[in-house]
Homo-oligomer: A and B are copies of this chain.
Amino acid sequence: MSQNGLSIALLHHPVLNKVGETIGSAVTNLDLHDIARVARTYGVGDYYVATPFGDQHELIEEITDHWLHGHGARANPARREALAIIRPARNLDEIVEQVSDRYEQEVLIVATSARRQQQITQIDYPALRERLDEEKPVLLVFGTAHGLAPTVLQRVDAVLEPIQPDSDYNHLSVRSAVSIVLDRLLGKHR
């Protein structure tokens, strides 16, 4: 699959904890691997991983180094190819700057949420697919822990409609959420 105008970002700060406080969550190995693999499968060129914490940047570097340049790169070249799209960043501003620089045009910043956000413009899948079909760049922002903090939702252009808003159970892992959203936007069965 050729690349498209979609970039994705996984924010570890500012996100919410179980009781709705704003926190910084920890980077996990599997968020890097699973999300890089599905992003690479669907032709996403850049997977930004944002955390403001220096030790967490070291962790990202240790993990990606192993697979890009260490033993992992020789043992599993397919994994190398996936992890090569990971771009560490400090925060959303830095990511928006990098995506804008790359595409040299205005980028639509779209947040994701498991819940309907009444105060923010909602965009649906057909509208977002249309934008991508027109080769306009889109940055899709996912939150770890219990989701993106209000300060993030307030600064994006739109929020994507929830995945299963009418389910009586709505607690997908962020790894599942990214997989489903990418398939809905870029999968060949639309």
Q: Is A12 an interface residue (CB 8 A)?
A: no
Task: List residues of chain B with CB within 8 A of the CB of A33.
Answer: 173
What number of copies of this chain does the assembly contain? 2
Taken together as a complex, chains A and B put the C-alpha atoms of A170 and B173 apart, in Å, by 21
Nearest CB on B from A181, distance (A): 9
Q: Is A65 an interface residue (CB 8 A)?
A: no
**26 A-B pairs with C-beta separation under 8 A:** A1-B166, A1-B169, A18-B76, A30-B30, A33-B173, A37-B171, A37-B176, A40-B171, A41-B164, A41-B169, A41-B170, A41-B171, A41-B172, A43-B167, A78-B171, A79-B171, A82-B169, A82-B171, A166-B188, A173-B175, A175-B176, A176-B176, A176-B179, A179-B180, A180-B180, A180-B187
